Structure 1
Amino acid sequence: MTQAPAMPDPTFIETNGINMAVYEAGPKDGVPVVLCHGWPELAYSWRHQIPALAAAGFRVIAPDQRGYGLTGGPKGEENVPLYDIEHLTGDLAGMLDALGIDKAVFCGHDWGGIVVWQMALLQKERVAGVIGVNTPFIPRLTSDPIEAMRAVYGEKMYIVFFQRFGEAEKLLGKDTARSLRFFYRKSGVTAEEWEKMPAEEKNLSFLDALETPEEEWRGTPLLSDEEYAVYTKAFEQSGWEGGINWYRNFSRNWRLTEGVEQKVSAPGLMISAADDVVLPPAMAEGMEKYVPDLEKHIIPACGHWTQSEKPDELNTLMIDWLKRRFG
């Protein structure tokens, strides 16, 4: 297991109505690279990438995003719309303003990947390039995405279940350390094995599996005790509500982006993980239609948590592309 590097100390930046915790490293005159985490993650999820990118000469900026970590965010069902895509991309644009940066390369994993691809549509003048880690560019659907997921997977699919305010956060917060041990595991199934599984086992009802005894969970623990402790402390402090609110805005985001041209003009790098069953490499097929200047790679024998599971492979691909395109 790779030893986790120490994180830089955070600074706090007022942006778009929140006080955002931002972790920076590397030369101030380097090409800015903003690292955007997903769920249930933190800026800490980029701990292996931050020093490598900084050593390669890039100015690395990793925020705890709205609702997460030391940034936190507004609570209460009435504030769910404050986690929509306009707020999430506005937070990052305001962060650049506060740092005196015109444009940056945006890199995102999981939900952070959705945000960085949308940055290239909604804040395109701030985006020099985009790196998707596991998360491809997903063009706007022709129908409400939650209704589409409900139709395909049913009510137990985790994103559909997340729509019920208060329920998932209560379930996950009952034992935050256990919940995080459940999520942060190496993939216990290859893409080929997943394909052969019966449909009822592929409905992505992870929260059912969470209720099973720990010894029955798939895969092996991904993190060290010290790393699990960092995540546990952060989620016990912030709670789960803010991060889950991102999911509660899928339908709202779909309505807000009606009429937005689905074309990324900035250069893109897509790094998929071969055994990510939530965001499989097949989802990146055909991306070139929407991201004409695109390079694609697949990291073999890697599950969903690419930054932690295959940090050296990810760093090599990112730094190589960044140096060729922006060096």
Structure 2
Amino acid sequence: MSALESQMPPVQRAPVNGIEMAYYEAGPREGVPIILCHGFPELAFSWRHQLKAFEAAGRWVVAPDQRGYGLSSRPEAVTDYDMEHLTGDLTGLLDHLGVEKAIFCGHDWGGIVVWQLPLMHPGRVAGVIGLNTPFMPRSPLDPIALMRMRFGPDMYIVWFQTPGDADAVLSADVEKTMRFFMRKPAALQAAAAQPAAGGSTFAFKELLQRWDASDTGSQLLTPEELAAFVESFRRTGFTGGINWYRNFTRNWERSEGLPVRIDRLPCLMITAEKDAVLTPAMAEGMPGMIGDLEMHMIHGSGHWTQQEKPEEVNQLILDWLDRRFPK
């Protein structure tokens, strides 16, 4: 039996927003559901520890494979992965579950999406939990142009904009790719360091190709857990997930005129001390933009916080839920 089968509830499927979404549900169908939204390159499986803990605490919890990932649909058009579609999938999931509102918890790219939900669909959101990913003000310029200026042309998000290139590089050896990404904080911090020669920061193409895959000391996952990710991405490739990044400019253009604050909505922000990509410093401005905000830091955690420090994540979220959304 695979880790996906042994560590996750049975998969369910919902027709939402023109696609089929696979999702995993646990806990009693009562109270406000918590929707767990994964990042890149991840799956609903990234939330396996939270599904178990929330179920044990009597909380209704749902983790979807989002558009482009895992067992969910992977549309062809790049524009089918813009913020309108990604948030629409989640409100469609609420319609399928028969609920008006949910608490949305997002990590990495999932965090970007859940912070947009109260701006785009305020009537469907009961609360927001950001894991590593802060609520950020709208950029004054096209974010891809800004990243190119600040980090260089080989920075991974800029590199991802080139059609087909990153897709092929990451898919060439899926196991190596997943082992490169799913490493402990020290290894990822080293990858994020400013290159001595003044090249691009976060130049994952070059770093991945240079990385010695015999390095097993920095691995975060058990072999069984790693296999669940590897099997999935071998089947799907990475294009669906990369297409989220290819909408940075489109999302920026279309977000003009959206609210710039979140008020009258309980929000929780959990940062990770050693996340090299989404640093705690990026969240420092949040109290000025969110009226009802609680913030915590998890010490010693790198980027993959819900998998690295599941007990701490679960405790912080469940404590906040008990205070803000008592059963």
Q: Within 5 A, what are the aligned runs for 1:217-236?
A: 220-236=218-234
Structure-1 residue corresponding to 2:314: 315
Structure-2 residue corresponding to 1:280: 279
The answer on whether the counterparts of 2:187 and 2:218 sit within 8 Å (CA) in structure 1 is no
1: CA distance between counterparts of 2:285 and 2:158?
26
Q: CA deviation at 1:213?
A: 3.8
Structure-2 residue corresponding to 1:17: 18
**Structure 1, residues 272-296: CA drift from partner, whole Å, max 9, x if none?**
0000010000000010121111000
* 1:137 maps to which of 122, 135, 147: 135
Q: Within 5 A, what are the aligned runs for 1:178-327?
A: 178-188=176-186, 198=196, 200=198, 203-214=201-212, 220-265=218-263, 266-327=265-326
Structure-2 residue corresponding to 1:48: 49
The answer on whether the counterparts of 1:108 and 1:131 sit within 8 Å (CA) in structure 2 is yes
2: CA distance between counterparts of 1:191 and 1:299?
16
Gaps of 5+ in 1: none
Structure-2 residue corresponding to 1:7: 8
TM-score by length of 2: 0.94
The answer on whether the counterparts of 1:188 and 1:219 sit within 8 Å (CA) in structure 2 is no
2: CA distance between counterparts of 1:202 and 1:292?
37
Q: Residue 19 of structure 1 aligns to a residue in which SS?
A: strand
1: CA distance between counterparts of 2:197 and 2:269?
28
Describe the shift of the 1:199–1:72 C-alpha distance in structure 2 as closer, same or farther (beyond 3 A): farther
Gaps of 5+ in 2: none
The answer on whether the counterparts of 1:271 and 1:298 sit within 8 Å (CA) in structure 2 is yes
Describe the shift of the 1:162–1:191 C-alpha distance in structure 2 as closer, same or farther (beyond 3 A): closer
Describe the shift of the 1:203–1:217 C-alpha distance in structure 2 as closer, same or farther (beyond 3 A): farther
Segment of structure 1 superposing worse, 186-195 or 174-183: 186-195
Q: Residue 110 of structure 2 aligns to a residue in which SS?
A: helix
1: CA distance between counterparts of 2:214 and 2:232?
26
* C-alpha RMSD of the superposition: 2.1
* 1:116 maps to which of 111, 114, 117: 114
Q: CA deviation at 1:215?
A: 5.3
Structure-2 residue corresponding to 1:160: 158
2: CA distance between counterparts of 1:196 and 1:148?
17
Q: Residue 15 of structure 2 aligns to a residue in which SS?
A: strand
1:67 aligns with 2:68: yes
Percent identity among equivalent residues? Answer: 53
TM-score by length of 1: 0.94
The answer on whether the counterparts of 1:35 and 1:62 sit within 8 Å (CA) in structure 2 is yes
2: CA distance between counterparts of 1:247 and 1:270?
23
1:149 aligns with 2:147: yes
The answer on whether the counterparts of 1:80 and 1:249 sit within 8 Å (CA) in structure 2 is yes
Q: CA deviation at 1:124?
A: 1.1
Aligned residue identity for 2:304: W
Describe the shift of the 1:304–1:200 C-alpha distance in structure 2 as closer, same or farther (beyond 3 A): farther
2: CA distance between counterparts of 1:174 and 1:58?
40
Q: CA deviation at 1:188?
A: 1.5
Aligned residue identity for 2:158: V
